[in-house]
A and B are shown apart, each in its own frame.
Chain A
Amino acid sequence: MFRTYRADLHIHTCLSPCAELDMTPARVVSRAIEEGLDIIAITDHNTAENIPSAIKANGEITVIPGMELTTVEEVHILALFPDMESVMRLQEIAYNDLPLTGNKRILYEQVVVNEEDEVIRFNDRVLMDATGLGVKEAINIIHDIGGITVACHIDREAFSILTQLGFIHDSLKFDALEISFRTERQRALKMFGIYDRYPWITSSDAHHVSDIGRAATEFIMKDASFEEIVLALSGKEGREVRF
């Protein structure tokens, strides 16, 4: 049977340099449940190390392993995966390009936390840096690993494909575009209508606990799984995406 699932597919944890320290995996999950979400994706910048704790901490909702990857052009791409194993493959590729912070003081704490909110370690890569992957190459690699790709916050001034590259070329096989919580559907249609060949989603891009669920996408599908999300984004077999 089909039903409507609310999904917030772009959420950071305290591992992301720019997110608040109280964004522990367990806290993110419990807040998402309070907000009535059925599905969340954990998408830290160029890293996946806090996802296992979010999956372990989880009682009632689906946690999709993901990553917000920075391409060489400094475009942010959301990568979503069916399992931990595939997201770790992308992390390995990303880490190859990211320098170590060394002993340099950097502004941000990047904290790996367990499901009990205890600090396990600090991540020592410069996660705010860009990887060496071009947009097209990144999309291909993510697809090869078994994931899907979303162009992040195309309505924003920073790190979006439109600010970095000017337009979205037909050859880019994004599975969806993300409109940030800042832009309502009607306005988004006026601004980005030429890109309606892609499905659109909206998400919170949460960096603070209170951000979680401030925007969510409705998926009409059979269950709260990654595979169903893939079907819904391609509009197959009666599934739908509503933003």
Chain B
Amino acid sequence: MKLKEIAEILSLRPLTPAVGHEREVSGAYVGDLLSDVMANAGEGNIWITLQTHVNIVAVAVFKNLSAIVIVNGRMPDADTMDKAVSEDIPILLTGKSAFETAGKLYQILNVQNLQG
């Protein structure tokens, strides 16, 4: 499924609209420890997190993630946004929790797999 379709269904707010919204999403990973995500996230995954530190972009690049979704209405600072744009990593925002976001995304991706 494409990132832009997911963004629409989950009402995610793209923070970097010019970046990567045609990308295919392979799945998702939820985590707030950068080292855990570095160890366990899969290529093409959306990363659901409440971290906003600039290092999240580095992790996404390192693991070839399709996008970062920042939950709980948190807002990354300018550093993080600039880095995301220059490194081509889409960042999307939601006021919802990680639980709700992951649950909805799981449903969408699973339905797709069943129809697959």
Question: Which chain A residues have a beta carbon within 8 Å of chain B's beta carbons?
Answer: 17-18, 70, 72-74, 99, 104-108, 126, 128-130, 157-159
Contact = CB atoms under 8 A, between A and B. Distances in A.
A130 B61 contact: no
B34 A107 contact: no
B62 A130 contact: no
A130 B37 CA distance: 11
A213 to B, nearest CB: 22
A128 B61 contact: no
B87 A126 contact: no
A74 B38 contact: no
Contacts of B55: 18, 128
B61 A105 contact: yes
B28 interface: no
A107 B63 CA distance: 12
B113 interface: no
Interface string B49-72: 001011101100110000000000
B4 interface: no
B108 interface: no
B61 A106 contact: yes
A106 B59 CA distance: 8
Nearest to B36: A130
A241 B17 CA distance: 50
A104 B35 contact: no
Query: What secondary structure prevails in chain A residues at the interface with B?
Result: loop
Nearest to A99: B38
Name, among B33, B55, B61, the residue most crowded by chain A CB atoms within 10 Å (CB to CB): B55
20 contacts: A17-B58, A18-B54, A18-B55, A70-B35, A74-B33, A104-B62, A107-B61, A107-B62, A107-B83, A108-B58, A126-B38, A128-B34, A128-B55, A128-B58, A130-B33, A130-B34, A130-B35, A157-B53, A158-B53, A159-B53
Contacts of A128: 34, 55, 58
Interface of B: 33-35, 38, 51, 53-55, 57-58, 61-62, 83, 87
Nearest to B86: A107
B61 to A, nearest CB: 6
A126 B62 contact: yes
Contacts of B34: 74, 128-130
A165 to B, nearest CB: 12
A108 B83 CA distance: 11
- Point out which of B34, B35, B57 has the most chain A C-beta atoms below 10 A from its C-beta: B35
A104 B34 CA distance: 17
Contacts of B51: 158
Contacts of A18: 54-55
A74 B54 CA distance: 15
A187 B53 CA distance: 24
A92 to B, nearest CB: 19
Nearest to B87: A107
A73 B33 CA distance: 8
A128 B55 CA distance: 8
* 6 residue pairs, one from A and one from B, having the closest CB atoms: A130-B35, A107-B58, A158-B53, A129-B35, A106-B62, A74-B33
Contacts of A74: 33-35
